[in-house]
Structure 1
Amino acid sequence: MIGRALLASSFLLLDTPLLHAAERNDLPSCYEFAKLSEYRPASSGRELTIIVDQTVQLPKDLKDSTYSHALRYVKPGDSVRLYQFSAYLPGNYMKLMYTGQLEDKLDEKKRDDIGMNSLRQLDSCLTKQVDFFRKTLGQKLVESFAKPGEDIAKSEIFFSLKQIGEDIAPRPAREKVVLLVSDMLENSDFGSFYASNQIRAIDPAAELKKVEQKKLFADLGGAKVYVLGAGLVPGTAKNGYRSGNTVQKLESFWSGYLSQSNAQLVSFGAPSLTVDLQ
């Protein structure tokens, strides 16, 4: 049975140069801990990428919903990556906040080849790995969300997605899902979806043409994209009302943008996401 001290010592591997010399993984390997690395199952081939827009003040229920959607989706063998982006101001920039590879259980056919002590260590560690994942992902999500009273007027969504795409597109996962937590309201030197301090009813085709001219489409590696928080109106907005027509045009634009960014918009939560990630 793994004692608390032994498990803690395993998680201290996060700080060793050896782990970071390879691909970053914020979840220590239980197969390495139990000295059973050669038995480690292959990954599931599924990867969830959570992208949080730090410029948006999310209400508590949407923060909780983000976490719940992620936990319902992720299974043993899956990879998870969490990015935070903001406007490019001092102290604000795109960050990879968390990356972890959950490990699957040992194949039943291989258990007969392994000693009972090693199996007990592995099984106990895998259970604790799930708990550790839930705790650390939750902590990093809290760090990623805008802090109360934090007011970042600009929002670089196009450029941030292009940057993040350069990271995730070449990754080997056969199934890529993106949970994009943002109001989806670009407000930068590239363009703005605001006018007179309120959301404007955009012309999707005209806005897509501008994005094309400025070479701001991304490559998201064929990902399925779910949006949570679309159209949230900031407290400083002159008029908090969003018409259905405005939201429809916003969704139409982002559907077109993602289509031209090697991705597919599956669901547009405006603001809540009412379907599970698939």
Structure 2
Amino acid sequence: MRRLLPLLVVGLLPMAAQAADERNDIPGCYPYAQLSQQQPAPSGRELVVIIDETVQMSQALQRSAWDHAMRYVRPGDSVRLYQFSAFLQNHYMKLQFAGLLDVPLQGKVRNSIGSKSLKQLDACLQQQAAFFQKTFGQQFVGSFGKPGEEIARSEIFGSLRKIAEDLASRPSQERVVLLVSDMLENSDFGSFYQSNRIRDIDPEAELKKVQQKNLLADFAGARVYVHGAGLVAGDSKGAYRSGSTLQRLEQFWRVYLQQSNADLAAFGAPELTADLR
């Protein structure tokens, strides 16, 4: 079993060269088992995880975000992971992971396959699931800000627009976005801070500024779940956020996402308590 994955990866090299335009960090099992003709269609669902590197997030909140992602993903899903920050040296928007999980064979098609091929396929699918969790997990954890590494700026609007442009070339039947961020813009465009505190923004006024700067995005009808909103490090000045401050923040992002062709399904301030659906 331990030798299976390296052999699988080697076996896929010719196929990967043919499909170089479609990044897939997860080695496929059907070509490996020589069952490409029997491969079921993918689910049409896509999970897009977007992590804001500028936010210092506790281990508990990081784990909660991971659990949300893992509860949602199932065989046949596409998964993408983006990291964004300020536009600084070594800190910028990156696609950290992109992969497609295979769907197991079922029913008559499965019954028509020989036992040797099925055994090889089933073993590979188990290995694929483990490979996905390990590889995606490493990139997931590595996308969060490092302790003691403080990034003063946060380009949320510009990063979301670029990510939406990247996704536009990848139509999907159903797209869910897990956005892990404090949702506090702090750039040359404008800042949601004032005197080291989160300021009480005027949602309507801020939205007009976003429109004037052409910073809306197009997420093609995605459902967006926010995790970490309003998060301020406990030792920072003004770490307290009032209910009305967070309410204004949520109101702004709800309308922003509506105008960016997306639906704000849940707003975790800071912890997301609703499951991804």
Normalising by the residue count of structure 1, what TM-score does the alignment of the two structures yield?
A: 0.96
The equivalent of 2:163 in structure 1 is 164
Percent identity between matched residues is 61
**Is the Cα contact below 8 Å between 1:225 and 1:265 reproduced in 2?**
yes
CA deviation string 1:154-191 (max 9, x = no partner): 00000000000001133221110000000000000011
**Is the Cα contact below 8 Å between 2:217 and 2:261 reproduced in 1?**
yes
* Per-residue deviation, 1:14: 7.4
Structure 2, unpaired ranges of 5+: none
* Per-residue deviation, 1:135: 1.1
Q: Which stretch shifts more, 163-172 or 29-38?
A: 163-172
The equivalent of 2:4 in structure 1 is 6
- Relative distance call for 1:96 and 1:14 in structure 2 (3 A) is farther
The equivalent of 2:205 in structure 1 is 206
**Is the Cα contact below 8 Å between 2:4 and 2:124 reproduced in 1?**
no
After the TM superposition, which residues 100-115 of structure 1 pair with which residues of structure 2 at under 5 Å, given as runs?
100-115=99-114
After the TM superposition, which residues 64-79 of structure 1 pair with which residues of structure 2 at under 5 Å, given as runs?
64-79=63-78
The equivalent of 1:259 in structure 2 is 258
Q: Which stretch shifts more, 231-240 or 145-154?
A: 231-240
The equivalent of 1:80 in structure 2 is 79
The equivalent of 2:222 in structure 1 is 223
Structure 1, unpaired ranges of 5+: none
* Per-residue deviation, 1:112: 3.2
**Is the Cα contact below 8 Å between 2:47 and 2:175 reproduced in 1?**
yes
Distance 2:169 2:131 in 1: 28
**Is the Cα contact below 8 Å between 1:41 and 1:107 reproduced in 2?**
no
- Relative distance call for 1:19 and 1:247 in structure 2 (3 A) is farther
CA deviation string 1:216-274 (max 9, x = no partner): 00011110000000000135632111000000000000001000000000100000000
The equivalent of 2:151 in structure 1 is 152
Distance 1:208 1:20 in 2: 41
The equivalent of 2:21 in structure 1 is 22
* Per-residue deviation, 1:203: 0.1
- Relative distance call for 1:262 and 1:112 in structure 2 (3 A) is same
The equivalent of 2:126 in structure 1 is 127
The equivalent of 1:183 in structure 2 is 182
For the residue of structure 2 that corresponds to 1:187, the secondary structure is: coil
The equivalent of 1:139 in structure 2 is 138
